[in-house]
């Protein structure tokens, strides 16, 4: 992984701002391989050196990847003045530069990738790559074969271009409520809700199940999260390169 400045390493690991961690170093609260750190600019070999801050080991992670089952009522943001954010739910994060990859509406639940890997995020979110995202939705009223055909052809949701073809699967259709799965390859603002609105339906519940190769872990309750496995990270990176 190479060498990193000590003040950057500590700041990235959440020990404070650059100026705050410099004070920790100057006050001899940081040791490198058992010796007091020489200065905030000291270069650290993150693969070999053992760093302690105030007697506790410092673990440096260049990148972190978390799968979150987003609950309703939480906003897809890093900071917010009114509501709790998805990043705040990741309590054991080591990095302070995490962000959600894409957005889910405040009332939408389900799969959200939280990371600080900007290159991967850009690859997954770039419109031209058409990364598939599957949602489970409950809508008022019946969903018909005609609706399936219209979704497959693309819908007018009030923008310059129609939506790209989408795959609509009806799990249960009823006069009062229908349960469906919808796979889209775009990420327009409120897209799923606007697509159903275009055919005269209102979404009453929405949950994202997949994003590219990543599938929501059914063991995660709303608000729970886990780190991605090495296999999941590798598959996402391959997805970003191949799409």
Catalytic residues: 105
CA pair distance 71, 85, nearest whole angstrom = 10
CA pair distance 132, 170, nearest whole angstrom = 18
Cβ-proximal residues to 234 (8 Å cutoff; 6+ apart), any chain: none
CA pair distance 131, 52, nearest whole angstrom = 42
Specify the 3-state DSSP secondary structure of 19: helix
CB-CB neighbours of 170 under 10 Å: 15
CA pair distance 53, 49, nearest whole angstrom = 13
Tokens describing residue 131: 């990364």
Query: Do 63 and 114 contact (CB within 8 A), yes or no?
Result: no
Tokens describing residue 243: 């799409």
């Amino acid at each position: 992984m190479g060498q990193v400045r000590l003040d950057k390493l500590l700041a990235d690991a959440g020990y404070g701002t650059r100026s705050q961690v410099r004070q920790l170093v100057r006050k001899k609260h940081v040791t490198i391989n058992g010796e007091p750190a020489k200065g905030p600019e000291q270069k650290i070999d993150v693969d070999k050196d053992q760093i302690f801050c105030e007697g506790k080991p410092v673990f440096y992670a260049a990148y972190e990847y978390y799968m979150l089952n987003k609950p309703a009522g939480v906003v897809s943001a890093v900071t917010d003045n009114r509501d709790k954010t998805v990043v705040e739910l990741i309590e054991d994060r080591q990095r302070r530069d995490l962000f959600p990859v894409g957005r889910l509406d405040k009332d939408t639940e389900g799969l959200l990738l939280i990371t600080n890997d900007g290159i991967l995020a850009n690859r997954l979110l770039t419109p031209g790559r058409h990364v598939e995202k599957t949602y489970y939705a409950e809508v008022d009223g019946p969903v018909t074969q005609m609706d399936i055909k219209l979704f497959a052809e693309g819908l007018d949701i009030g923008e310059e271009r129609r939506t790209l073809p989408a795959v609509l699967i009806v799990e249960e259709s009823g006069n009062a409520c229908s349960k469906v799965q919808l796979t889209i390859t775009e990420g327009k603002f409120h897209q799923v809700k606007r697509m159903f609105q275009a055919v005269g339906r209102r979404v009453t519940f929405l949950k994202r199940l997949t994003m590219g190769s990543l599938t929501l872990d059914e063991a995660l309750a709303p608000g729970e999260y886990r780190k991605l496995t090495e296999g999941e990270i590798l598959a996402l990176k391959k997805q970003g390169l191949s799409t």
